[in-house]
Amino acid sequence: MKKTTEQRYTKSSLVIHFLKGNLHYFVICIAASFGVTLLEMILPQIVRGTVDSVIGSDPFSFPAFITDRLNAMGGGAYFREHLGLIALVIIFLSVLAVLCRYATNFYNGKGSEALMRTMRNELFAHIQHLPFAWHMRNQTGDIIQRCTSDVERVKIFVAEQLTSIIRIVILMILSLLFMFSMNVRLSLIALCSVPIIIGYSAFFHSRIGARFQECDENEGILSTIAQENLTGVRVVRAFGREKFERDRFEKQNQHYTGLWVRLMTLMSAFWGAGDLISGLQVMLILVLGSVFCVQGTLSVGQFIAFLSYNSMLIWPVRQLGRVISEMSKAGVSVDRIMYIMNAPAEQDKPNALTPDMHGDIVFDHVSFGYEGSVAIVHDVSFRIPHGSTFGILGATGSGKSTLMHLLNRLYELPPENGKITIGGVDIADMKASWVRKHIGMVLQEPFLFSRTIAENIGITHRDMSMEEIRRAAQIACVDDAISEFANGYDTVVGERGVTLSGGQKQRTAIARMLTQQAPIMVFDDSLSAVDSETDAKIRQALHQNLGDSTVILISHRVTTLMQADCIMILDQGRIAEMGTHDQLMKKGGIYRRIYDLQMDAGKEGEDAERN
């Protein structure tokens, strides 16, 4: 799902948006619930009439049309001789109530699961379209927690609380109507507990919400710690940090548990107060109702029915208190989901272009700094002719990868910070998907999915043949290594490719990018984990098979860049030198010093091996 940046959800509009397509389930659920409520209201009246007018001798006191019908059948004397009819009516109404209750639970369950599916799908789809910068600002564990626990909390509220509000209101209205029709004084006494329960529920509402938000946020922190450690288990073990990480997890878990204990303490006080008030109200009605019966102002049947209606009244009032308290929790979860849904998705300009990407790449006075940090790239301008090989060399933090992130539009370049064009067309005027489709990238730390090697390589096209996959692997010099595995290309790699070596992961990622057949290919230090000999083989294979593609090589290794048509040296975000290998060697500048250092280091390594 993609939405315009102007569209922002409120809590209510977000819930309504998620309910679209599933609302009919909840409508049926509410209608069936109304049926249950109505039938439950009728049964105490039947009991009252039976006690007062069938077992007793009082005349029927139902509405006129019902009373006339009962008298026409023979009145209380007739039903006294045919008590089985009353039993059959009660059984019939009870069966109807059971069927309505089944429909209530069935459609409520169906609607709530459909709602949860919709929320998950839309959240996942929206997250897929959020800018790369947004993902860098938000921790994965917290995002997962918002898409699981918070979604579950909203589903529970809608399914178990929100749909019951209408039934609660109906129960309260009908109960009070029947109660007032039997005894006004006792009804007023019963009604006194309603504002008290609603009042203390509102008092606890904000306090429960604040504590639940703290619990929810700390659950996200706990999820992040677990996710990071499971993903980086090799690093944890390699440095013997198991105890440190376990202690860190246990400390956060202890804090998280303590927060829930505090919340449960508050909830216990909330429900304890409700039980006390409800119990006092029931006791008061029982005592005063008995007194009124002795005084003769209330019949026994009316008293029995009144107690039934009072139970029906006190339950929905307490349930309304639960809705208010649960609303605090659900409100926090909706806020956390709304944070994702209101995050602006990537947007192309109106009538975005899809031009030919076989053209020169030009960086024109480009400056850039990440959000909240100082500028990393300062007024950089250079041209990469189409079909050439362009090398970039520089120290860590000099802005090499930043330039490629801007080229691929992982980060948007503000208009005042220069522009980047391909074939004379500003990439900001192109569709982002078009740019990324035609610019292949291999990163220093490539990501592999928990699938087979063949699936990882062929992920750019659904119907890629095995021959095409192997051809790409051969160019990336990884085919021989894969063939040595027991299951070959059907070998399932672990999470993030953990079962492969660093060099094998990089070469597999190169093969995956080659299947994209992009006219622009970026290798961002993606040969750092392979030895010099394999590095040379890969570069030679790429040179022979890439045709007229533009190749951008980023590396710390001078030997990787020596054959490039042009080499650019970045120093603290600025262009320090640019030229061919021979030209840069003659200058005797930064490039020459790096070359000499690396060559000397290589000779020392060879001498050490001989000795």
Residues 306-349 pLDDT 10s: 887 787 777 766 666 667 667 777 888 888 899 999 999 888 88
Residue 574: pLDDT band (50, 70, 90) is: very high
Pairwise pLDDT comparison (130 vs 2), residue with the higher score: 130
Run of H or E residues at 156: helix 140-156
Give the C-alpha separation, 431 to 353, whole Å. Answer: 6
Locate the domains of the chain by residue range: 11-341, 361-610
Q: For residue 232, which phi and psi values (nearest 5 degrees)?
A: -100, 35
Name which of 55-69, 78-92, 275-289 the model is least confident about. Answer: 55-69
Cα(454)–Cα(151) distance, integer angstroms? 35
Q: Which of 5-9, 537-541, 589-593 has the highest mean pLDDT?
A: 589-593
The pLDDT value given to residue 520: 93
CA–CA separation, 498 and 423 (whole Å): 40
Contact 559, 532 (CB under 8 A): yes
Q: What is the pLDDT of residues 67-113, one digit of tens each?
A: 778 888 887 788 888 888 888 988 998 899 999 999 988 998 899 89
Q: Which of 3.30.1330.60, 3.40.30.10, 3.30.70.890, 3.40.50.300 is the CATH number of 361-610?
A: 3.40.50.300
Which contiguous run of DSSP H or E holds residue 76? helix 75-81
Q: CA-to-CA distance for 193 and 292, rounded, in angstroms?
A: 20
Q: How many CB atoms are located within 10 Å of the residue 95 CB?
A: 11
Give residue 327's pLDDT.
73
Beta bridge partners of 571: 574
Q: Hey, is 501 helix, strand or coil?
A: coil
Of 263, 253, 554, the C-alpha closest to 404 is: 554
Rounded mean pLDDT, 461-479: 87
Compute φ and ψ for 607, nearest 5 degrees. Answer: -65, -40
- 396-405 tens-digit pLDDT: 888 888 999 9
CA–CA distances in Å: residue 115 to residues 14, 18, 166, 323, 327: 12, 7, 19, 19, 17
Does 164 have pLDDT greater than 90? no
**Res. 431: pLDDT tops 90:** yes
What is the pLDDT, as a whole number, of residue 605?
A: 52
In this prediction, residue 3 carries a pLDDT of: 47
Amino acid present at 47: V
pLDDT score at 2: 44
User: What gap in Å lies between CA 334 and CA 402, rounded to an integer?
Assistant: 35
Q: How far is CA 392 from the centre of its chain?
A: 38
pLDDT of residue 149: 85
C-alpha distances (whole Å) from 555 to each of 387, 476, 560 are: 19, 17, 7
Q: How far is CA 421 from the centre of its chain?
A: 36
Superfamily of domain 11-341: ABC transporter type 1, transmembrane domain (1.20.1560.10)
Contact yes or no for 557/527 (Cβ under 8 A): yes
The tokens for 333 are: 């979860």
pLDDT tens digits, 366-405: 999 887 778 889 999 999 999 999 999 988 888 888 999 9
Residues in the chain: 611
Phi, psi of 595 (to 5 degrees): -60, -50
Do residues 513 and 441 touch, judged by C-beta distance below 8 A? yes
pTM of the entire predicted model: 0.71
Q: How far is it, in rounded angstroms, from Cα 259 to Cα 267?
A: 12
Dihedral sign from CA coordinates of 17, 20, 22, 24: positive
Q: Are strands 361-368 and 377-384 parallel, antiparallel or unpaired?
A: antiparallel
